[in-house]
Amino acid sequence: MTDTSRIFLSAPHMSGRERELVTEVFDSNFVAPAGPMIDRFEKAFCKTTGHRAAAALSSGTGAMDIALRLLDVKPGDDIWVADLTFVGGVSPITYHGANPVFLDVSPGTWTLDPVLLANELEKAAKAGKLPKVVIPVDLYGQSCDLDEIVQLCDLYEIPVVVDSAEAMGARYKDRHAGKGAKFAIYSFNGNKIITTSGGGMLASDDEEMIARARYLSQQARQPVAHYEHTEIGYNYRMPSLCAAVGVGQLEVLEDRVARRREIFSAYAEAFLSNAGVSMMPEASYGTCNRWLSVMMLDPAETKVTPSHICQAAEARNIECRPVWKPMRHQPVFKHERFFATGVSDRLFSTGVCLPSGSAMGEYEVQRVIAEVSAVLAGP
């Protein structure tokens, strides 16, 4: 019998160990956003990524919110952010009353364009309107050119918060993606390469700032018994049960990256012989975790479009998705400023994300290949 069950874009992939660790939390009765499992997750995370400190939080969005708070972002500040990204890293800018300004990405990496950034920073400095923070994004698990971006921002003393939500297990030069900025944020949402069901991490080499992030994430409680507050905080701490899942997932991160890269290679091998088809490039300075495998369709060479692929796949119970819609085209951001070169527009109109979950077996990968190949072959 043929299996036609749904193939998701990126489904959770448990190793089995998570269940034991969750049981440990039950046994300890720390069924709360407190307890030793959270500490254990933060330590294991730091060991994996090389950050000196990290605060486990309830989401990547919350991690970005706290990062901006720690950097004293205020109403009216400009925050520069990559145009091609998911909204979770951008919404927190507005929580602080600041203005997102969108910058286009490089064609070779799909991440914040350092040449554009250099030019626009120079102009902004002359106009006396420099951003308070710059947020590059490690899109689809590909690190941005972080050293280059940090160096440029250092010239103007602008802190960088890298949105590494999609980049667990990815490498930049000889280190983990996200390491080297003032702050990095990560997501453990259910669709990410490793998950805690929902969760995020704020990481930095600044241990004091991370201690403050933990305090802010727990309602900014002063260390007294009667609940005293001298400033407003958040309820953003990660629950212990989620941290337990995270500890188990970190143990298999390398395997998960390897499997996603294998799936990407299988797609590349199957599709690249079709005219007008290419795959997301990999930057020479790093190793993409291939969180999502993305295929591009050049309209000059093929009549097949991303929506043809998505519709045909959906009809066979296979989930595909267009490349993220650039932020400057989101109705909610239609009044915001941007610096565009046309790259994110082109990627949005020509790119399609293919099922990439590491739990997919060979049968599922071949099912996707067969369906997509049939569409590429034409009617």
Ligand X SMILES: Cc1ncc(COP(=O)(O)O)c(C=O)c1O
Taking contact as CB under 6 A, which single stretch among the options 33-41, 46-54, 58-66, 271-279 is the one that binds ligand X?
Answer: 58-66
* Least distance (Å) between residue 2 CB and ligand X: 33
Q: Which is nearer to ligand X, 139 or 252 (CB)?
A: 139
Binding-site size, ligand X (CB under 6 A)? 14
* Least distance (Å) between residue 309 CB and ligand X: 21
Among 12, 35, 60, 246, binds ligand X (CB under 6 A): 60
Residues 140-169 that bind ligand X (CB under 6 A): 163, 165-166
Determine the residue type at 201.
Answer: M
Among 66, 121, 137, 253, binds ligand X (CB under 6 A): 137
* Least distance (Å) between residue 133 CB and ligand X: 15
Is residue 336 within the footprint of ligand X (CB under 6 A)? no
* Least distance (Å) between residue 4 CB and ligand X: 28
Determine the residue type at 278.
Answer: S
Is residue 200 within the footprint of ligand X (CB under 6 A)? yes
Among 10, 61, 142, 356, binds ligand X (CB under 6 A): 61
Among 10, 49, 85, 249, binds ligand X (CB under 6 A): 85
Q: Which is nearer to ligand X, 353 or 372 (CB)?
A: 353
Distances (CA, A) of 342 to 105, 106, 110, 149, 192: 9, 10, 12, 20, 28
Is residue 187 within the footprint of ligand X (CB under 6 A)? yes
* Least distance (Å) between residue 269 CB and ligand X: 27
Strand partners, 57: 200, 237
Among 88, 92, 159, 357, binds ligand X (CB under 6 A): 88
Q: Which is nearer to ligand X, 270 or 343 (CB)?
A: 343
Q: Which is nearer to ligand X, 113 or 163 (CB)?
A: 163
* Least distance (Å) between residue 332 CB and ligand X: 15
Site residues for ligand X per CB under 6 A: 59-61, 85-86, 88-89, 137, 163, 165-166, 187, 189, 200
